[in-house]
Structure 1
Amino acid sequence: MTLVKFNPEKKNSTLLPGFNDIFESVLGDTFFSDRRINSLPAVNILESGEEYHIELAAPGLKKEDFKVSVERDMLTISTGHYSENNTLEKTYNRREFSYSAFTRAFTLPESADVDRIQASYVDGVLKLALPKKEEAKAVSRQIEIR
């Protein structure tokens, strides 16, 4: 068996010259690159003394498009959005379909109170507030120095 050292700096493989260039030109084409965009929305997760906050950026949707569920210690946020645009041009009808869906799942800490989770959707951002259980809240007290 022969080991061949991989050199990421070198574009062409010595075994198949030009092979990588073909892939780069095809996959770098705007037709493909536009479709390779990550379809998962960005998420911010914050923690305060009283609760956890999850903010999910999903503009262009309605609150009815979301499904938020909790099963055991898993919080699942999913959506399926379908839209259809019809444009009449001259003697033919052009249809453009758009369907986007995603599912994000988060493992909840034991300190989260799943019975009091609240959600709101404002200005394209889904916001979830996950209160902490009473015993898990940060307790602050002054310690006397002797």
Structure 2
Amino acid sequence: MALVSWDPFRDIERLEPFRDIDTLQRQMNRLFDRLMPTTNGGEGIGFGFVPAAELEETDEAILLKLEVPGLEAKDINVEVTVDSVSISGERKSETKTEEKGIARSEFRYGRFQRVIPLPAQIEHDKVQAEYKDGILRLTMPKLASEKQKTVKVNIG
């Protein structure tokens, strides 16, 4: 058996299916670039960012922690319903330094919105919020019916 090297560019008509695949791949990449925020060092920048969230459920309440550094409390909007919480805001920060006659300016900005479905219904008019050191903490008490919900499982 002879060993023959393959040159895909030798016969141009063989390349047509590969061009279609390449075009499709470029279109998909552009789509994902538009939908997903770009990241740099673990922090979203560009058109927006997606803050990290941690959700914990206890017998009495649902606790939510959200990382939103670089914001002031007035820049954060929190809306709750009985089964979801929506957090949105806009980050604008600018840093200017000048050393030895060289000026440096850096800025970060971007809008974000995150809607988080809750694992149980809450008393949405009794939600407590605290914002400190870039962490938003929400304590959302469960409805009385959710606190005492027990499901009987029948075994066949």
State the TM-score bracket (shorter-chain normalisation). Answer: 0.5 to 0.7
1:123 aligned residue (107, 117, 133): 133
- What's the secondary structure of 1:49's corresponding residue? coil
Q: How many residues align?
A: 118
Match of 2:38 in 1: 36
What RMSD over aligned residues (CA atoms) do the two structures have, in Å?
Answer: 3.7
Letter in 2 for 1:36: T
Q: Could you list the runs of 5+ residues in structure 2 that have no partner in the other structure?
A: 1-16, 27-36, 151-156
Q: How does 1:90-109 map to 2 (within 5 A)?
A: 95-108=105-118
Give TM-score scaled by structure 2 length.
Answer: 0.57
Q: Is the 1:57–1:125 contact (alpha carbons within 8 Å) kept by the matching residues of 2?
A: yes
Within 2, Cα distance between the matches of 1:139 and 1:15? 57
Letter in 2 for 1:77: I
Within 1, Cα distance between the matches of 2:38 and 2:108? 15
Q: Please list the CA deviations of residues 74-101 of structure 1 after superposition, one character each: whole Å capped at 9, or x if unmatched.
A: 4210110112334557889765442122
Match of 2:89 in 1: 79
Letter in 1 for 2:144: E
Identity of aligned residues (%): 34
Q: Could you list the runs of 5+ residues in structure 1 that have no partner in the other structure?
A: 1-13, 24-34, 141-146
Within 1, Cα distance between the matches of 2:139 and 2:81? 17
- What's the secondary structure of 1:61's corresponding residue? coil
Q: Please list the CA deviations of residues 26-72 of structure 1 after superposition, one character each: whole Å capped at 9, or x if unmatched.
A: xxxxxxxxx82142111111100000011112223222221111256
After TM superposition, give the deviation of residue 121 of structure 1 in Å. Answer: 1.3
Within 2, Cα distance between the matches of 1:136 and 1:15? 56
Give TM-score scaled by structure 1 length.
Answer: 0.60
Within 2, Cα distance between the matches of 1:72 and 1:85? 40
The structure 1 segments of at least 4 consecutive aligned residues displaced by more than 3 Å after TM superposition are 71-74, 85-97
Which of 93-102 and 46-55 deviates more? 93-102
Q: Is the 2:70–2:134 contact (alpha carbons within 8 Å) kept by the matching residues of 1?
A: yes
